[in-house]
């Protein structure tokens, strides 16, 4: 039992790191643009397929796929922003319409991946040597440890970026008060495009990590990650990047512990219950500081 | 000054003439489908989607909610009929209304979510639909048939279920037509536009919203039941498929939320388009559905009817 | 008996005391002007009276009946109507439907209510636009629409929040006449404004708020020369 719990904790931390990244990118996007990317999970899975294709055709290892995905998805996000968002802003209720539009994007993205890769579950059969590492009494696969390390590096880099650099501070300011920042002379359109690109880039990288950590993925896995992203974002407080990082880890731990202690059927419901419970009991999230709308 | 009221009377006359004409044509057409040897399955689903999109419109267009887990009502309705018929040997014509009741009960359970607004409501609705699906999936196999689902086992009666679907559609459209002119409908629209202001103007906001929510939940549940009967089989994968929500939302938005005719026209146009595309490019179906949604939101956010009425504001009084 | 009475109304937002033991009473036909700088607590007072905010302490009585803590729609049915500083019309509803919202639960027939709504729009010179959506009106017209909507159920107490803010002078004059009519019809008028000229013209009595407290109350002439009011307005 103790071993199970330790395993659960370790896996919770690793999975939680991924959830944190899934959530932080979505929350950044919502914070700056006030759009809800329903297709976020599909973006992530697209990252997984990106790594899959790189490995299966060009033999590029997943580690190298991380920076490549970052660049490719950043560019794709930048482009997608200018195609989708400016028109959206002119509708009556941009927030809700964005939800609807990305609903369409998510269907289209899943369908596209289905056309390209078919419905079968894929995995990357890349292995590290050694395959696993012993830490105390438990064994953890090297791939998962590498993923955890990358998650931590990205999180720290992101935090430094948001709190130490000028563009990062501009992003945070835009989250807190979108009207004021325009008066301050910041080009909100470029900043938004950047936020969208950054969020897409993070989603793509997360997808590569998903391919490392989880046994398999298919075109329909996206929906699960969208839900996970919602859970993390709500738990962390809408538009709060630090909250999302924390919430991702908390949710990862909760989910993995649930699989230890609860029958599998109930463990699946845990996420939904956390989501609904948070919105009703603590709508401003774990940290309790709701960013001003 | 008497002229305004007289003008209103003539507007009413045009309105009711239009209702009678459109309604009559719709009724005659659908009633004649089996007689004329047209594709019964296609028209069965057309009526199903008209009903779904119209009922969804009550929650979205009238009350201002976006229930992204709308499929929950449909799925629960489907399973209610299937379980009652298969396991409790209920006659179908008792099971179908009870599916509607199941929808109402579920709507009452979800009623606390009406406190939420905007994306919070949408996300919670989505999560609740997920919980419903998991709950039914994990019920004992003796009740829900597990992953194989339930076979109703009754002899399929496509013609009978076709006309029952038609009756459900007529009932739904009549209800929504009444709602659009009723005081409840005005109260609902007021809460949609500004709930706090409506409250201060004497509208019992939670109650009004609950009524709208119940209407919106009843019909998809019945639709689920009728479809279960029509196809003779129910399983969680199809009964809780998120594509059901997606199609409902897209069809309603395509036509235009907030009008009675919007979702009807949207469903007719999109189901027809869907069929056309599906026949030509079966693989591209889903992709095109997604792209169509994006294009709709970007270029026709008010839908077909909504866009026309924006160009011709004075038509609003005549168009149901 | 006062038509409207507030006793010791207190409302706190976190650490901020927005209202601090405010007493208020007014009777039929009386126009009570409520003045004060931004943040003095004027709108908070109105929101507490109509039930939008639940006061932390104190009571609201309408026609002698305690309504504290009741939801806004119940208080509205006691005969309390209001307008808003920034108009809050029902944007995607016709002007007629906007006016019908406050009288939806009346037993009168639809055609009777529509007739009344049309008469009211006539009075507000909006009749030509009756089938337009409210969002298609100008800001000033939306203020008139709000006033019409407020008067539809024939409330005993009407509360006007900055009715003249951002309104064209010609329209201002029109609105002032409508407010005077309303008071003559025997209603209690609570009038919020930071514009002293219009307040002094319309009010039979004036109450000055500063930092959530009543700092002066009395006839227009008492308030006009009151040093505390001058101090609050000019500040230090």
**Contact at 8 Å (CB) between C11 and C19?**
yes
Alpha-carbon gap: A105 to the closest alpha carbon of chain B (Å): 6
Q: What is the mean pLDDT of residues A14-22?
A: 94
Instruction: Tell me what the pLDDT averaged over chain B comes to.
Output: 91
Q: Report the residue from C77, C101, C131 with minimal CB separation from B316.
A: C131
Instruction: Tell me the residues of A at the B interface, defined by beta carbons under 8 Å apart.
Output: 36, 84, 87-88, 91-92, 95-97, 99-101, 103-112, 114-115, 223, 227, 230, 234, 265-266, 268-269, 272-273, 275-276, 279-280, 283
Q: Which residues are bridge partners to C134 per DSSP? A: none
Distances from the Cα of C106 to the Cα of A157, C109, C113, angstroms:
63, 8, 9
Residue A230 CA to chain centroid, in angstroms? 10
- Whether A288 is in a domain gets the answer no
- CA-to-CA distance for B76 and B95, rounded, in angstroms? 12
The contacts of residue B308 (CB under 8 Å, 6+ apart) are B315
For chain C, say whether B5 makes contact (Cβ under 8 Å).
yes
Contact B68 A99 (CB under 8 A): yes
pLDDT digits (tens, 9 = 90+) for C170-197: 999 999 999 999 999 999 999 998 778 8
- CB pair distance less than 8 Å for C73 and B199: yes
> Which sequence spans correspond to the domains of chain B?
14-317
Is A63 within the bounds of a domain? yes
- Min distance C116 CA to chain B CA atoms (Å): 11
Reference A44, options A194, A196, A223, A216; nearest CA is A223
CB distance B189–C153 less than 8 Å? no
**pLDDT value for B108:** 97
Q: Output the 3-class SS for chain B.
A: CCHHHHHHHHHHHHHHHHHHHHHHHHHHHHHHHHHHCCCHHHHHHHHHHHHHHHHHHHHHHHCCCCCCCCHHHHHHHHHHHHHHHHHCCCCHHHHHHHHHHHHHHHHHHHHHHHHCCHHHHHHHHHHHHHHHHHHHHCCCHHHHCHHHCEECCCCCCHHHHHHHHHHHHHHHHHHHHHHHHCHHHHHHHHHHHHHHHHHHCCCCHHHHHHHHHHHHHHHHHHHHHHHHHHHCEECHHHHCCHHHHHHHHHHHHHHCCCCCHHHHHHHHHHHHHHHHHHHHCCCCHHHHHHHHHHHHHHHCCCHHHHHHHHHCHHHHHCCC
Pairwise CB contact (< 8 Å): C73 & B202: yes
Residue C155 pLDDT > 70, yes or no? yes
Residues in C closer than 8 angstroms to B193, CB to CB, are 89-93
Within a domain: A38: yes
Of B134, B291, B298, Cβ closest to residue A268 = B134
List pLDDT tens digits, range A25-84: 999 998 888 888 989 999 999 999 999 999 999 999 988 999 999 999 999 999 999 999
Q: Do B313 and C102 touch (CB under 8 A)?
A: no
Distance CA A149, CA B289 (A): 40
B-chain residue closest to A35, CA distance: B119
pLDDT digits (tens, 9 = 90+) for A140-194: 888 888 899 999 999 999 999 999 988 888 888 888 877 777 777 778 888 899 9
In a domain, A241, yes or no: no
- The helix or strand, by DSSP H or E, that contains position A43, with its residue range, turns out to be helix A40-58
With an 8 Å Cβ cutoff, are C97 and B189 in contact? yes
Q: Do B199 and C130 touch (CB under 8 A)?
A: no
Looking at chain B, which subunits does it touch, using at least 3 CB pairs closer than 8 Å as the criterion?
Answer: A, C
B182 touches C: beta carbon within 8 Å: no
> Whole domain around residue A95: which residue ranges?
26-221
User: Within a domain: residue A264?
Assistant: no
> Is A16 inside a domain boundary?
no
What is the reported pLDDT for C145?
Answer: 97
Mind listing the pLDDT tens digit for each residue in A105-133?
A: 999 999 999 999 988 888 888 878 788 88
Give mean pLDDT, residues C94-114: 95
How many domains in chain A?
1
| Nearest-CA distance B134 → chain A (Å) | 7
In chain B, the residue whose alpha carbon lies closest to the alpha carbon of A265 is B138
Is C102's Cβ below 8 Å from some Cβ in B? Answer: yes
**How many Å lie between the alpha carbon of C154 and the closest alpha carbon of chain B?**
12
Whether residue C63 contacts residue C27, with contact meaning beta carbons closer than 8 Å, is answered with no
Cβ contacts of A230 on chain B, cutoff 8 Å: 123, 126-127
pLDDT for the residue B94: 95
Asked if B10 reaches chain C (Cβ–Cβ under 8 Å), the answer is no
C94 touches chain B (CB under 8 A): yes
What is the residue-wise DSSP string for chain C?
--SEEEEEEEEEETTEEEEEEEEEEE-TT-EEEEE--TTSSHHHHHHHHTTSS--SEEEEEETTEE-TT--HHHHHHTTEEE--SS----TTSBHHHHHHGGGTT-SS-HHHHHHHHHHHHHHTT-GGGTTSBGGGS-HHHHHHHHHHHHHTT--SEEEEESTTTT--HHHHHHHHHHHHHHHHTT-EEEEE-S-HHHHHHH-SEEEEEETTEEEEEE-HHHHHT-HHHHHHHH--
Reading chain B (320 residues) residue by residue, the pLDDT tens digits are: 444 455 557 888 899 999 999 899 999 999 999 999 999 999 999 999 999 999 999 999 999 999 999 999 999 999 999 999 988 889 999 999 999 999 999 999 999 999 998 888 988 999 999 999 989 988 888 888 877 788 887 666 888 999 999 999 999 999 999 999 999 999 999 999 999 999 999 999 999 999 999 999 999 999 999 999 999 989 998 999 988 998 999 999 999 999 999 999 999 999 998 888 877 877 788 888 889 889 988 998 889 999 999 888 888 888 88
CA–CA separation, C227 and B283 (whole Å):
81
Chains that touch C (3 or more CB pairs under 8 A): B
Q: Where are the domains of chain C?
A: 4-234
Residue A283: inside a domain:
no
Nearest CA of chain C to the CA of B167: how many Å? 30
Contact C92 B193 (CB under 8 A): yes
Q: Does the beta-carbon distance from C131 to B314 stay under 8 Å?
A: yes
Residues of C in contact with B204 (CB under 8 A): 71, 73
User: CB A230 to CB B118 under 8 A?
Assistant: no
Using the beta-carbon criterion (under 8 Å), do A100 and B293 form an inter-chain contact?
yes
**How far A87 CA sits from the closest chain B CA (Å)?**
6
Report the alpha-carbon angle B41-B45-B48, nearest 5.
145
Interface test with A, best of B116, B127, B289 (most A CBs within 10 A): B127
What pLDDT is recorded for position C235? 67
By Cβ distance, the residue of B128, B138, B294 closest to A108 is B294
- What is residue B7's predicted lDDT score, i.e. its pLDDT? 55
Asked if C128 has any chain B CB less than 8 Å from its own CB, the reply is: no
Which residues of B fall within a CB distance of 8 Å from C88? 194, 196-197
CB contact under 8 A, B283 and A115: yes
| pLDDT at residue B24, as a whole number | 94
C100/B186 Cβ within 8 A: yes
CATH number belonging to domain B14-317: 1.10.3470
Tell me, which fold does domain C4-234 have in CATH?
Rossmann fold (3.40.50)
Q: What angle do CA A271, A276, A281 make, to 5 degrees?
A: 120
Inter-chain CB proximity B124 and A95 less than 8 Å: no
* C190 interaction partners in chain B (CB closer than 8 Å): none
pLDDT score of A23: 94
CB-nearest to C104 from B200, B203, B316 is B203
Give the closest-approach CA distance of C97 to chain B in angstroms.
Answer: 7
Task: Name the minimum distance, in Å, from the CA of B286 to any CA of chain A.
Answer: 6
């Amino acid at each position: 039992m103790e071993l199970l719990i330790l395993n659960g904790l370790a896996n919770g931390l690793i999975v939680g790191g991924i959830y944190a990244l899934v959530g932080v990118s979505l929350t950044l996007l919502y914070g700056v643009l006030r759009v809800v990317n329903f297709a976020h999970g599909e973006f992530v899975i697209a990252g997984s397929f990106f790594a899959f294709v790189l490995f299966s055709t060009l033999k590029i290892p997943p580690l190298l796929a991380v920076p490549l995905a970052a660049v490719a998805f950043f560019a794709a996000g930048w482009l997608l922003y200018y195609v989708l968002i400016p028109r959206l802003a002119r509708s009556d209720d941009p927030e809700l319409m964005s939800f609807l539009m990305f609903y369409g994007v998510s269907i289209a993205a899943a369908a596209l991946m289905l056309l390209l890769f078919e419905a079968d579950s894929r995995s990357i059969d890349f292995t590290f040597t050694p395959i696993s590492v012993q830490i105390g009494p438990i064994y953890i696969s090297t791939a998962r440890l590498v993923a955890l390390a990358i998650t931590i590096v990205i999180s720290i880099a992101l935090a430094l970026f948001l709190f130490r650099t000028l563009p990062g501070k501009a992003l945070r300011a835009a989250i807190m008060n979108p009207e004021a920042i325009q008066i301050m002379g910041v080009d909100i359109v470029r900043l938004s495009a950047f936020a969208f690109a950054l969020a897409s880039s993070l989603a793509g990288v997360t997808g590569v990590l998903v391919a490392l950590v989880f046994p398999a993925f298919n075109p329909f896995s996206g929906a699960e990650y969208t839900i996970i992203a919602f859970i993390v974002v709500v738990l962390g407080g809408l538009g709060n990047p630090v909250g999302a990082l924390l919430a991702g880890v908390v949710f990862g731990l909760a989910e993995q512990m649930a699989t230890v202690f609860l029958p599998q059927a109930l463990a699946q419901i845990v996420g939904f219950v956390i989501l609904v419970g948070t919105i009703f009991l603590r709508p401003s999230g774990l940290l309790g500081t709701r960013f001003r709308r | 000054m008497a002229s305004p009221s007289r003008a209103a009377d003539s507007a009413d006359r045009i309105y009711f003439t239009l209702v009678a004409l459109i309604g009559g044509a719709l009724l005659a057409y659908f009633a004649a489908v089996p007689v004329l040897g047209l594709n019964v399955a296609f028209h069965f689903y057309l009526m199903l989607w008209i009903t779904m999109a119209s009922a969804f419109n009550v929650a979205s267009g009238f009350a201002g909610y976006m229930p992204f887990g709308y499929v929950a009502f449909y799925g629960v309705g489907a399973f209610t009929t299937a379980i009652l018929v298969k396991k409790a040997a209920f006659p179908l014509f008792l099971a179908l209304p009870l599916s509607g009741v199941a929808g109402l009960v579920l709507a009452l359970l979800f009623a606390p979510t009406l406190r939420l607004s905007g994306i919070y409501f949408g996300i919670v609705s989505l999560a609740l639909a997920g919980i419903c699906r998991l709950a039914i999936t994990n019920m004992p196999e003796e009740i829900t048939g597990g992953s194989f689902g339930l076979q109703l086992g009754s002899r399929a009666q496509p013609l009978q279920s076709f006309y029952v679907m038609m009756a459900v559609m007529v009932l739904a459209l009549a209800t929504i037509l009444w709602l659009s002119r009723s005081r409840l409908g005005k109260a609902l629209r007021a809460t949609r536009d500004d709930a706090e202001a409506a409250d201060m103007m004497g509208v019992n906001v939670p109650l009004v919203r609950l009524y709208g929510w119940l209407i919106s939940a009843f019909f998809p549940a019945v639709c689920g039941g009728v479809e279960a009967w029509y196809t003779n089989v129910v399983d969680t994968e199809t009964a809780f498929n998120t594509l059901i929500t997606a199609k409902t939302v897209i069809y309603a938005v395509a036509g235009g939320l907030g009008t009675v005719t919007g979702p009807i026209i949207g469903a007719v146009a999109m189901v027809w388009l869907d069929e056309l595309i599906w026949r030509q490019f079966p693989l591209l179906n889903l992709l095109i559905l997604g792209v169509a949604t994006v294009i709709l939101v970007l270029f026709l956010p008010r839908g077909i009817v909504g866009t026309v009425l924006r160009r011709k504001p004075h038509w609003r009084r005549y168009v149901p | 008996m006062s038509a409207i009475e507030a006793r010791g109304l207190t409302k706190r937002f976190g650490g901020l005391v927005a209202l601090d033991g405010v007493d208020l009473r007014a009777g039929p036909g009386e126009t009570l002007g409520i003045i004060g700088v931004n943040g003095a607590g004027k709108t908070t007072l109105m929101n507490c009276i109509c039930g939008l905010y639940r006061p932390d302490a104190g009571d609201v009585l309408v026609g002698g009946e305690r309504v504290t803590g009741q939801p806004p729609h119940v208080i509205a049915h006691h005969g309390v109507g209001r307008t808003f500083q920034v108009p809050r019309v029902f944007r995607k509803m016709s002007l007629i439907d906007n006016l019908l919202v406050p009288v939806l639960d009346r037993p009168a027939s639809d055609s009777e209510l529509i007739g009344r709504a049309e008469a009211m729009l006539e009075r507000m010179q909006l009749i030509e636009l009756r089938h337009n959506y409210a969002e298609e009106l100008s800001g000033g017209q939306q203020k008139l629409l709000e006033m019409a909507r407020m008067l539809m159920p024939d409330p005993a107490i009407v509360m006007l929040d900055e009715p003249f803010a951002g309104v064209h002078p010609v329209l201002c004059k029109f609105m002032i006449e409508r407010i005077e009519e309303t008071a003559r019809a025997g209603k209690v008028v609570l009038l919020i404004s930071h514009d002293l000229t219009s307040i002094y013209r319309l009010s039979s009595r004036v109450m000055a708020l500063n930092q959530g407290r009543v700092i002066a109350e009395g006839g227009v002439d008492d308030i006009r020369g009151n040093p505390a009011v001058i101090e609050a307005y000019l500040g230090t």
